[in-house]
Amino acid sequence: MAINYDQAVGFYDETRGYRDGVVERYRDALLAYSGLDRSASVLELGIGSGLIAQAFLRAAPEYYGIDLSLGMMRLIGGKLEDGSRPHLAQADCAKLPFAAASFDLVHAVRVFHHLADWRACIDEARRLLRSGGVLVIVENLPPAEAEPPPWAVAQEKWDQILRRLGVGDDGIQHGIWLTDEAMSQYIASTGASAETAELLRYREKPVSPRMMVERRVAGMFSSDWRLHTSTRREAAQKLVAWLERECEAPDELVEREMIFCALIARW
């Protein structure tokens, strides 16, 4: 079961959005690498507020999306100036409401690290793909050689505070980050080929330690939604105190380089 992002409707685009032009570059790179053109029938798993979908809808008429959050999907219409709409359904990635062999391409961006039952999701994608179809699983990750940005210390401090308040690793876990090897092995077991690819590099919007602290305090990370209210409140107070007393450069803005890292399966 994935996470329902209804409570993120008011801030998701502002805190998770891309710079202008990035999603269009992703669309073009994805179609080119998949060997498909803009006439392909595409399904996006975890379409959310349409941050990725908007670029496809300007160029590809057959675009479908599913998400658990109706609130997030209601934001999509406001991004489309020409009145176009994706075909939407509220559904879980592990149980999709479409007929077999319906799509040429199934893709998911920043979704699989939320999925406990990721194998079922891969099985569903396989069922929905036509012969020669492609599943593309994407995460946005920094280059392996990159130094942590200044705001990362705020993330580390938050985790330290939670541990001191008695929160275990299950309560601190920032998603289920699987290795490409684990997914590749499972994909191979289904009879598909699997390969990894760097689709494109881009720069994130600038973030400072103060901005990161403010987002933690406001409960903008799904990894914190399971915390008890009193625990989250106490942790937030301690994090703010640390920012004001100990953080060396609380307002230093950094534009981090990131990569659309893809795991691509072909049956």
pLDDT by 10s per residue, the chain, length 267: 578 999 999 999 999 999 999 999 999 999 999 998 888 999 999 999 999 999 998 776 689 999 999 999 999 988 776 667 789 999 999 999 999 999 999 999 999 988 889 999 999 999 999 999 999 999 999 999 999 999 999 999 999 999 999 998 777 776 666 677 899 999 999 999 999 999 999 999 999 999 999 999 999 999 899 899 999 999 999 999 999 999 999 999 999 999 999 999 999
List the domain boundaries for the chain.
1-141+178-206+255-267, 147-174+209-251
Helices 118-128 and 180-189 cross at an angle (nearest 10°) of: 50
> What pTM did the predictor assign?
0.92
* Rounded distance between C-alpha atoms, residue 198 and residue 262, angstroms: 6
pLDDT in tens, 99-135: 999 999 999 999 998 888 999 999 999 999 999 999 9
| DSSP state, residue 218 | T
Q: What does the pLDDT read at residue 109?
A: 96
Instruction: State whether the Cα torsion 74-45-11-18 is positive or negative.
Output: negative
Return the closest-CA partner of residue 27 out of 13, 42, 14, 12.
42
Instruction: State whether the Cα torsion 201-203-205-211 is positive or negative.
Output: positive
Q: What does the pLDDT read at residue 6?
A: 94
| 1-141+178-206+255-267 CATH choice from 3.90.1150.10, 3.50.50.60, 3.40.50.150, 3.40.50.300 | 3.40.50.150
